[in-house]
Amino acid sequence: MNYQPIIDEIYEELLPSLNEGNVANYIPELANINPLQFGISIYDINGNSYNAGTTDKTFSMQSISKLFTCTMALREVGDEIWGRVGLESSGHAFNSIIQLEQEFGVPRNPFINAGAIVITDILQEVFKNPEMDILEFIEDISLNENIAFNIDMATSEESCGHRNSALSYLMKDLGNLNGDVNSVLKLYYKHCSLAMTCEDLAKSTYYLINKGVGVRGTRILKERNVKRLNSLMMTSGLYNNSGDFAYRVGLPAKSGVGGGIVAVLPGEFTIAVWSPNLNKAGSSMAGIKAMELFTTRTEKSIF
Amino acid sequence: MNYQPIIDEIYEELLPSLNEGNVANYIPELANINPLQFGISIYDINGNSYNAGTTDKTFSMQSISKLFTCTMALREVGDEIWGRVGLESSGHAFNSIIQLEQEFGVPRNPFINAGAIVITDILQEVFKNPEMDILEFIEDISLNENIAFNIDMATSEESCGHRNSALSYLMKDLGNLNGDVNSVLKLYYKHCSLAMTCEDLAKSTYYLINKGVGVRGTRILKERNVKRLNSLMMTSGLYNNSGDFAYRVGLPAKSGVGGGIVAVLPGEFTIAVWSPNLNKAGSSMAGIKAMELFTTRTEKSIF
Amino acid sequence: MNYQPIIDEIYEELLPSLNEGNVANYIPELANINPLQFGISIYDINGNSYNAGTTDKTFSMQSISKLFTCTMALREVGDEIWGRVGLESSGHAFNSIIQLEQEFGVPRNPFINAGAIVITDILQEVFKNPEMDILEFIEDISLNENIAFNIDMATSEESCGHRNSALSYLMKDLGNLNGDVNSVLKLYYKHCSLAMTCEDLAKSTYYLINKGVGVRGTRILKERNVKRLNSLMMTSGLYNNSGDFAYRVGLPAKSGVGGGIVAVLPGEFTIAVWSPNLNKAGSSMAGIKAMELFTTRTEKSIF
Amino acid sequence: MNYQPIIDEIYEELLPSLNEGNVANYIPELANINPLQFGISIYDINGNSYNAGTTDKTFSMQSISKLFTCTMALREVGDEIWGRVGLESSGHAFNSIIQLEQEFGVPRNPFINAGAIVITDILQEVFKNPEMDILEFIEDISLNENIAFNIDMATSEESCGHRNSALSYLMKDLGNLNGDVNSVLKLYYKHCSLAMTCEDLAKSTYYLINKGVGVRGTRILKERNVKRLNSLMMTSGLYNNSGDFAYRVGLPAKSGVGGGIVAVLPGEFTIAVWSPNLNKAGSSMAGIKAMELFTTRTEKSIF
């Protein structure tokens, strides 16, 4: 199927409303981005690329990076990670500390902040040079050898990340964080600052629609772990907005406050969108609209 | 695809472990059921039936009935119902009262008890004779004109339903229950007591895989509302066990403490299983195993 | 010490501000009361009475009655009651249901609604005719043989007491309510509707300042249980406003949404005030002010 | 009144049971203390001292120091501090993080850890050299010019204080902590490590029974703020064990996990006890027993 006309149409349609919503203003470096940008990339199971709008400009992955770090942890450590982080949706905002105390420091899933920090702790235990390994992994799955962290972004987030420090110290207190809090958080902010384009992002998630085999034809993840990640994205990929997104779009997805969203239809395509203005739940407004239009018009969703 | 050999095999395989888990003992009438029973029915998009085990014996729908009452409410009232009940997973046990107080009496979704009671309240407002209308609706979608309530079961549940009374009075206090509490709960226990077979159940959910059109060829629900129900089943159909089920089985589903589970793969098939012994989260142990084996062997799931 | 000039002065001083605050509007029968009324009565350890304002008109005891029912339960059953209701302040609003669920149906103290309902349940178990026994008890401790329930008030509260029904059914579910919910609540609303004057109220709490011996010279309560009640009034007598009251007034006290407050200084005096307009925490605004002025000017408080 | 015979008797009586309870084992430095020690000091309004047991050996003030820092903050800043910390009992354990999130970073009172950290933040804002000023203040009110911090203790606590870091970062995130988290916590652990004897402690709280005037005859605090502190000690001095203590002992008090408790009867006496073994709520077991015996035998309490 040729997706080009559909995404061109969606692009035209959304341009007038890109000013709706707000950029993430709690991270200084994100607050300065021109919000009137929009890109959409499709990468299908046969390796065809479809792009509309600004799809070759990098933006900050933010929480989308949690998908990649969770993939790395599953690959290296396997199912043991589920002893330290859960599989259920949280029913609370992404940075809630209440549930964490009530559930003895085990975060509900790897996509809320506390869960992603535990995953980062695991990566730091497993890898000698985790920053380098993360970059190499992303370069491998995205076919792009120039992926980089945005150091200013990472520093900017660290300077205002008191809530994440609180979550981390609480987990440290409850025995679910092995590394030094500051060093784990430094790595966490680094991988959140990953800069990628829509095209990169669409390609890099190819293994999620291809039973675990990536764009280079090598196995990235066991098939059963792909199923697990896709189901986690389905139930928890957009925080406590996941139910609404599941209904509107009907695809497993992961969003980030940088304005990106990536979604997948196993066996068919990946889709990445980027537009910086966010809804109240912290996901790209135009991004959600674009995906809703896309699945409605193509009649392609998991439901 | 001929599913018969696969479900025959699964049936044989599960027989030795039917004694694992426990029947729901908090409802006296359910506690007396012989737990060593198992049935599995598939109904495919072309109208073919595949059955193994005890698929012609009725059992109590319990929470599965919430799927049907929610369908009826959506059909009669439409999207207005979402002002009185939410769309997100709860992150709490099915009968938790805490979230209800914190969120001003609006239950998280129509599948937790509080949400289903609100839906029952809506049906009682809309229909003159809601009991009869529910029966007629089920008979219509299941091709079976002998569906009945189990009055003993309903009475049994009512006698021990103090928690549901607490939830209802709290919603009454917070302005989200219009009818008389006792009369709403009477209807609620009635529809939970619906007695259907695995075959009935598989047929009755046909509209969820057929874009809203039921077994008789008539429209049961708008296509977009089918998508909504399927996504709700995906994120919230097995209470706070939904994430685990999504990973293991990868299908939208709804379970009940009577030991039934129904799941759907849009465009392909519905699948209903029944076995009374439950896991700690209140879903059929053998039922979950059967579905996991089925989607693994057929490689058919939404992910 | 002659308290008459001081309370006369306070009465004059407060008259202009009686219109501040609001009457309890969630109970229909209370909403109709003329709010511009005020009375203050002192009863000292030697049996002298001092009165200013409207001290001979009855008003509804509401939560103040919890002090009397708790006294009766302690007298009849003794320390066993602390297995069913706690001794600590709740830190939550008087009708919160959250804590009750988290703490398995055992209310924090006998002065929050849930706790008082458990106490009522105990009285109903112990007495054959609890209504009559409550009236006789109050008549005994107040030297007034014409104490009565206000049936209209009780009916009015019952009609809107959904929250109390929710609390009761939750406790029933959690195994901490033995009687029939409706019948326990009927008795609860009855004793809340007790109609007494400021003078009655001041006299009736004499046993709390006289080591357990009441106005008629007979023992009402063991001395140690008087200490217990006084400390409970200190930490929990004004719900989650107790800390502020402790600082302003510095006396153990109990308030009710009927606008009454009673406070005691062991060995010295009891003080009862009534004025229907309430602050946000549900206690009489002019009542608190009057008590603050009284303890400041007499320099008599427990601190 | 000569209290010496009474406290001698209590000392003898308690010796055999000093092994009950446990020392605070979560702070390494406290875990090493010989638990079989006991001291009791009374200081009356006329300046007479009564001592029994080990009353001249220093122990760690821990949470008792919160009483002194709160006094200093009230003295320097006045009622403005109540905008940053509440006056009500918390109803939760001393280090709970849940309530803090729900109430937007404003701790319930200055005696729970979060509240005391805010008070420390205030002291650090107000004083150029807060450590020195704290020492000078304690030396002034205790008549002892050799008060010192226990640096090993402070370091020991800092090394395991992850929960306090979590509380602090959460307050930082919610805008209720102005200083640098690490530097505020360093000062907090310092003042918690204050080493004083029972005699020092009894003398140092003299201003709480003498309308704000201390042992040297100089005003330490306004009279109204003394009332405030005493009422806070009454409702919140022993964390969520305050209700039980209020009943048993009937005096405003403050305890610390070092095994000390200080209590006051305004106009009459202060009483300090020390014995390292703690009950589950973190207060000295023998200390509570000693105070209960003392107020029972002297019939002196506020109730």
Q: Give the pLDDT confidence of C116-151 residue by residue, as tens digits.
A: 999 999 999 999 999 999 999 999 999 999 999 999
Please give the average per-residue pLDDT across C59-71, as a whole number.
97
Q: What is the pLDDT of residue B101?
A: 79
- Residue D152 pLDDT exceeds 70: yes
Question: Using alpha carbons only, what angle is made at residue C303 by residues C301 and D5, rounded to the nearest 5 degrees?
Answer: 120
Chain C residues whose CB is inside 8 A of the D241 CB are: 88
Which residue of chain A comes nearest to D96, CA vs CA?
A101
- Residue B236 to residue A247, Cβ atoms within 8 A: no
Asked if C247 lies within 8 A of D90 by C-beta distance, the reply is no
- pTM assigned to the model: 0.88
Question: Which of A79, A94, A229, A231 to probe by mutation at the B interface, max B CB count within 10 Å?
Answer: A231
pLDDT tens track of chain A, all 303 residues? 899 999 999 999 999 999 999 988 878 888 889 999 999 999 999 999 999 999 999 999 999 999 999 999 999 999 999 999 998 877 666 567 777 877 889 998 999 999 999 999 999 999 999 999 999 999 999 999 999 999 999 999 998 899 999 999 999 999 999 999 999 999 999 999 999 999 999 999 999 999 999 999 999 999 989 988 999 999 889 877 888 898 899 999 999 999 999 999 999 999 999 999 999 889 999 999 999 999 999 989 888
State the pLDDT at residue B26: 77
Q: How far apart are CA B275 and CA B261, in angstroms?
A: 9
Rounded Cα–Cα distance for residues B153 and B61 (Å)? 11
Cα–Cα dist C254/C232, whole Å: 9
CA–CA min distance A171, chain B (Å) = 20
Please report, for residues A101, B110, B149, B187, D143, the alpha-carbon distance to residue B135 in angstroms, rounded to integers and kept in the order given.
Answer: 46, 20, 8, 12, 85
Q: Number of B:C CB contacts under 8 A?
A: 55
* Residue C94, pLDDT above cutoff 60: no
pLDDT in the model for residue A64: 98
Quote the pLDDT of residue C91.
Answer: 66
CA–CA min distance A163, chain B (Å)? 21
Q: What is the ipTM of this complex?
A: 0.87
A10 vs chain D: nearest CA distance in angstroms? Answer: 39
User: Per the CB < 8 Å rule, is D302 touching C87?
Assistant: no
- Nearest Cα neighbor of C244 from C199, C194, C285 is C285
Beta strand A49-53 with A39-44: parallel, antiparallel or unpaired? antiparallel
Predicted pLDDT at D212: 97
- If you measure CA to CA, which chain C residue comes closest to D238? C88
D263 phi/psi in degrees, rounded to 5: -135, 160
Q: What is the DSSP string of D26-42?
A: SSHHHHTS-S---EEEE
C interface test, pick of D231, D245, D293 with most C CB neighbours within 10 Å: D231
CA nearest neighbour of A134 among A213, A239, A61: A61
Those chains having 3 or more beta-carbon pairs within 8 angstroms of chain D are: A, C
**Residue C209 scores a pLDDT above 70:** yes
Residues of B in contact with C101 (CB under 8 A): 96-98
Distance from CA of A93 to the nearest CA of D (A): 12
**Above 80 in pLDDT, residue C288?**
yes
* Of D87, D230, D240, Cβ closest to residue C88: D240
D96 pLDDT above the threshold of 80: no
Beta-ladder partners of B264: B270
Q: What is the DSSP letter of A85?
A: S
CB contact under 8 A, D227 and C303: yes
Cβ pair A254, A237 in contact under 8 A: yes
**pLDDT > 80? residue D98:** no
- Higher pLDDT: B129 or B92? It is B129
User: Can you give the pLDDT at residue A235?
Assistant: 86
Q: Of B91-105, B116-130, B255-269, give the lowest mean pLDDT range.
A: B91-105
CA B273, CA B202: separation in Å to the nearest integer? 9
Tell me, what's the pLDDT at A265? Answer: 97
CB-nearest to C91 from D88, D227, D228 is D88
